[in-house]
């Protein structure tokens, strides 16, 4: 941590700041510049609250040298983490492909889609039972009933299942029957939920918040990992920008950034990013090319009549074609599908 003092900071104020640092067992390296004096603080500052220093009027700014996350940090864990979800590996050579409808609607729908995506080469089945919708008047999901349809379709087609959790009181039920628990973008900073999920040992798919920085996102992963559950998979799904043509702006630069900062696997959801089915294809290809460990793609047998987000869902035939093209790109970047 670097502390920059304002020009002309009085000696007693400097001593005060030094006193706080020494009390916290840090070493101080003082550098006197032409206009500024700075303190280099040596030691593990990740749990030190820099506001203790910035409250002093004579402090110009405090800059961090080290990232505030530890367990998610690649520095302390140089090898990439591979997470096993009921036999499907995230983060290895083979890409994980999660596919399925936005919402779970009927048994028939789930079975049709599950069989189709399985045949096309998907490795996990998705489907929303608890839906975070912007409007309270929109369809909120089939809840427990939907969860049963999802697990049944997963079992029948031999696909592990992924679905979103919205509150801590459902954790017990999810731990019983869900292979990969998704924390949606809107709950990325629902810290109470993250803490509770940290106590389980089920793999967690942590989506990036709508306006979350990469650091905030990794700090949310840190919440889960700090509780003891280190099986976190990250998912980039587009962020809020000023552009309104697309539903969100897919931030593919986040993939190499995360790979540098963290050892956790990261996948991409091109369906939510664009919000338009015809953009899913090119974005999915780009995601593989940029180095993502997998994809999450919405597939629906009848998008025109879907109960939710039909406009961004692929039909099974299109998904099947896409998978063939993706496998070619995967080969080029040294991965396989």
Residues that bind another protein (CB under 8 A): 2, 4, 7, 29, 31-36, 38, 40, 42-44, 63, 65-66, 75, 240-242, 244
| C-beta closer to another protein: residue 74 or 107 | 74
Given a contact cutoff of 8 angstroms between Cβ atoms, the answer to whether 241 and 218 are in contact is no
Helix (H/G/I), strand (E/B), else coil: 32? strand
Minimum CB–partner distance for residue 32 and another protein (Å)? 7
Dig out the tokens for 132 from the structure.
């975070």
> What are the residues facing 234 on neighbouring strands?
206, 266
Q: Cβ closer to another protein: 145 or 240?
A: 240
CB of 210 to another protein, least distance (A): 9
Beta carbons within 10 angstroms of residue 61's beta carbon: 13
Minimum CB separation of residue 76 from another protein in Å reads 9
C-beta closer to another protein: residue 32 or 55:
32
> Residue 89's beta-bridge partner residues?
84
In whole angstroms, give the CA distance from residue 65 to residue 46: 10
Closer to another protein by Cβ: residue 11 or 244: 244
Q: Residue 317 contacts by C-beta under 8 Å, 6 or more apart in sequence?
A: none
**CA–CA separation, 39 vs 222, rounded Å?**
28
The 3-state DSSP class for residue 175 equals helix
Pairwise CA distance, residues 130 & 34, whole Å: 59
Measured distance CA(56)–CA(39) in Å, rounded: 14
In the bound complex, what is the minimum distance in angstroms from residue 322's beta carbon to another protein?
Answer: 29
Closer to another protein by CB, 38 or 329: give it.
38
Residues 6+ apart with CB under 8 A from 210: 185, 186, 239, 240, 248
Task: Identify which of residues 68 and 92 has a Cβ nearer to another protein in the complex.
Answer: 68
CB of 62 to another protein, least distance (A): 11
CB 308 within 8 A of CB 103: yes
Both tokens of 126, joined, read 């998705």
- 33 or 228: CB nearest another protein: 33
CB of 234 to another protein, least distance (A): 22
* SS3 category, 102: coil
Compute the distance between CA of residue 141 and CA of residue 231 in angstroms, rounded to an integer: 27
Q: Minimum CB separation from another protein for residue 50, in Å?
A: 14
Give me the least distance between CB of 161 and another protein, in Å please. Answer: 33
Q: Which is nearer to another protein, 61 or 199 (by Cβ)?
A: 61
Neighbours of 155 (CB within 10 A): 14
């Amino acid at each position: 941590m670097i502390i920059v003092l304002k020009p002309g900071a009085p000696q007693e104020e400097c001593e005060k700041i030094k006193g706080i640092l020494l009390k916290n067992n840090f070493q101080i390296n003082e550098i006197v510049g032409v206009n500024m004096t700075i303190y280099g603080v040596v030691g593990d500052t990740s749990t030190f609250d820099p506001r203790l220093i910035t409250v002093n009027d004579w402090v110009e700014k405090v800059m961090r040298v080290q990232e505030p996350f530890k367990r998610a940090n690649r520095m302390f864990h140089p090898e990439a983490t591979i997470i096993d979800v009921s036999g499907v590996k995230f983060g290895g050579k083979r890409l994980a492909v999660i596919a399925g409808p936005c919402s779970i609607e009927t048994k028939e729908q789930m079975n049709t889609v599950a069989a189709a995506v399985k045949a096309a080469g998907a490795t996990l089945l998705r489907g929303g039972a608890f839906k975070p919708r912007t409007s309270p008047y929109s369809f909120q999901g089939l809840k427990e009933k939907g969860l049963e349809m999802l697990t049944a379709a997963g079992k029948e087609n031999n696909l592990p299942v992924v679905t979103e959790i919205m509150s801590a009181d459902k954790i017990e039920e999810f731990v019983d029957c869900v292979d990969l628990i998704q924390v949606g973008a809107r709950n990325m900073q629902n810290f109470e939920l993250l803490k509770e999920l940290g106590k389980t040992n089920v793999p967690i798919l942590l989506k990036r918040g709508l306006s979350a920085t990469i650091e905030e996102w990794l700090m949310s992963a840190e919440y889960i990992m700090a509780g003891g559950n280190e099986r976190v998979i990250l998912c980039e799904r587009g962020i809020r920008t000023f552009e309104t043509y697309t539903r969100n702006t897919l931030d593919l630069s986040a993939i190499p950034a995360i790979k540098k900062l963290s050892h956790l696997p990261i996948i991409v959801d091109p369906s939510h990013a664009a919000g338009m089915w015809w953009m899913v294809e090119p974005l999915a290809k780009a995601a593989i090319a940029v180095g993502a460990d997998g994809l999450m793609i919405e597939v629906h047998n009848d998008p025109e009549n879907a109960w939710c987000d039909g406009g961004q869902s692929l039909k099974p035939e299109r998904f099947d074609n896409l998978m063939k093209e993706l496998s070619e790109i995967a080969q080029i970047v040294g991965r396989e599908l």
